[in-house]
Amino acid sequence: MDTAERLIESAQELLWERGYVGTSPKAIQERAGAGQGSMYHHFRGKPDLAVTAMRRSAEQLRALAERQFADGGTALDKASGYLLRERDAVRGCRVGRMAMDPDVLDSDDLRAPVRETFAWLCERLAGIVADGIASGELRPDLDPVDTGAALAAVVQGGYVLARAADSQEPFDRAVRGATALLAAARVTGPSA
């Protein structure tokens, strides 16, 4: 693995563990086994490396979600599969963690990967719900955009609950509850 790759991966891990404010260039360099000159040869500075690392984390999360959605059958299967996927909730979300960092929120460049990822996720979940409505699987009175946003918010809120309690259980309860609510929106009789 080349130096730039090691720097990106080290930044990804440290940003997840410590957030942007708590991640120093020195810590990234130490974890990557790279010198200061190497870091500044490949990146303009910490913000440039952080954006690159955050974009990489966002791409990886999107790819994982897309694989899960592709494995599902019905809209309910896809949404439930996403909600119930095994996660280390106490560790939190690589992307969502950045939304809590004041330096990230103050920078359009740093905030962009977070904003884009959540916009993509909400849109993708809304599309799954819309497909479920169109197929007659889910009730037509569900608003796909609102429901997609709610499903994304349950996962992110579940991470917050799990981190606050230092326990996986609050996250698991939240996603089980959302799955039950979504299942309650399943059409049980002939569609109108």
pLDDT of the residue at 72:
72
So where are the chain's domains? 58-184
Q: Is 90 exceeded by the pLDDT of residue 1?
A: no
Kindly report the backbone phi and psi dihedral angles of residue 53, in degrees, each rounded to the nearest multiple of 5, phi listed first: -65, -40
CA gyration radius for the chain?
19
Query: What's the helix, strand, coil split of the chain in %, to 5?
Result: 75, 0, 25
End-to-end CA distance of the chain: 58
Alpha-carbon distance 58 to 64, whole Å?
A: 10
Cβ pair 138, 129 in contact under 8 A: yes
Type of residue at 177 = G
Give domain 58-184's CATH superfamily.
Tetracycline Repressor, domain 2 (1.10.357.10)
Give the pLDDT confidence of 50-109 residue by residue, as tens digits.
999 999 999 999 999 999 898 879 999 999 999 999 999 999 999 999 999 999 999 999
Alpha-carbon distance 40 to 138, whole Å?
A: 52
Q: Is 80 exceeded by the pLDDT of residue 127?
A: yes
Torsion angle (degrees, nearest 10) of CA 136, 137, 143, 147: -170
pTM of the model: 0.91
Alpha-carbon distance 89 to 1, whole Å?
A: 29
